[in-house]
């Protein structure tokens, strides 16, 4: 009986898989000013996008600039922060959340994607402009993800769970696909 239920469940699951919508393709967004970009980020973060909240979000967030030689422009990484009372409503207590990446040109901001983590560093890997993030799992564990620019936007190319040792070394526990 149990085997029959299990097989029925698998058949139902397989039959519904073909009717699921395809994964949403990345859509590039362009903004003519920081205010419109922060309104977009408020909406992505499920925050109110009225003027008052957009200004609050922008004031409590930070932007880090990186020279982007591939296009001769600047990459902007927005670290969103939005405080309600004494807690951050867009980041977890240990700092995990999204970082949003934009390309800054003379007259536009182009949205290039987002990264997940509590912190990040910019690196050049095999000649490619990349970011490495750490999503804190516990006291000694974090997921390290690598994001690279593919010519259109940033994509995650690796996601690995590490255990960190007291001596500063780390051991790979699991690699995600």
Query: What is the domain partition of the chain in residue ranges?
Result: 28-176
Alpha-carbon distances, residue 166 vs 23, 28, 160 (angstroms): 41, 42, 19
Rounded CA-CA distance 115/134 in Å is: 10
Residue 169: pLDDT over 60: yes
Alpha-carbon distances, residue 126 vs 5, 47, 66, 71, 123 (angstroms): 50, 38, 18, 18, 10
- Select, from the ranges 7-11, 98-102, 105-109, 127-131, the one with the highest average predicted confidence (pLDDT): 98-102
The pLDDT, as a whole number, for residue 4 is: 53
Q: Which region among 11-25, 58-72, 104-118 has the lowest average model confidence (pLDDT)?
A: 11-25
Rounded CA-CA distance 112/127 in Å is: 19
Alpha-carbon distances, residue 85 vs 43, 82, 88, 89, 148 (angstroms): 20, 10, 8, 9, 36
Residue 59: pLDDT over 50: yes
Task: Taking residues 29-42, report their average pLDDT.
Answer: 96
The pLDDT, as a whole number, for residue 2 is: 54
Task: Taking residues 31-54, report their average pLDDT.
Answer: 96
Q: How many helices (H) and strands (E) does the chain have?
A: 3, 12
The pLDDT, as a whole number, for residue 10 is: 44
The mean pLDDT of the chain is 86
Rounded CA-CA distance 118/144 in Å is: 10
Helical H segments across 18-172, by residue range: 34-44, 51-60
Please report, rounded to a whole number, the percentage of residues in the chain having pLDDT higher than 70. Answer: 86
Query: Which residues 6+ apart lie within 8 Å of 140 measured at CB?
Result: 163, 164, 165
């Amino acid at each position: 009986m149990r085997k029959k239920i299990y097989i029925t469940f698998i058949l139902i699951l397989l039959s519904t898989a073909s009717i699921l919508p395809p994964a949403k393709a990345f859509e590039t967004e362009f903004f003519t000013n920081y205010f419109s970009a922060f309104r977009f980020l408020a909406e992505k973060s499920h925050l109110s996008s009225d003027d008052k909240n957009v200004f609050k979000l922008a004031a409590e967030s930070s932007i880090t600039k990186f020279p982007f030689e591939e296009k001769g422009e600047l990459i902007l990484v927005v670290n969103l922060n939005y405080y309600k009372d004494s807690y951050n409503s867009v980041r977890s207590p240990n700092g995990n959340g999204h970082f949003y990446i934009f390309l800054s040109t003379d007259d536009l901001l182009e949205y290039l994607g987002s990264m997940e983590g509590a912190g990040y560093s910019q690196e050049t890997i095999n000649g490619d402009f990349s970011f490495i993030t750490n999503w804190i799992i516990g006291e000694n564990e974090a997921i390290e993800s690598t994001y690279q620019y593919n010519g259109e936007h940033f994509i995650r190319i690796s996601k690995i769970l590490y255990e960190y040792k007291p001596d500063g070394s780390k051991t790979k526990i699991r690699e995600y696909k």
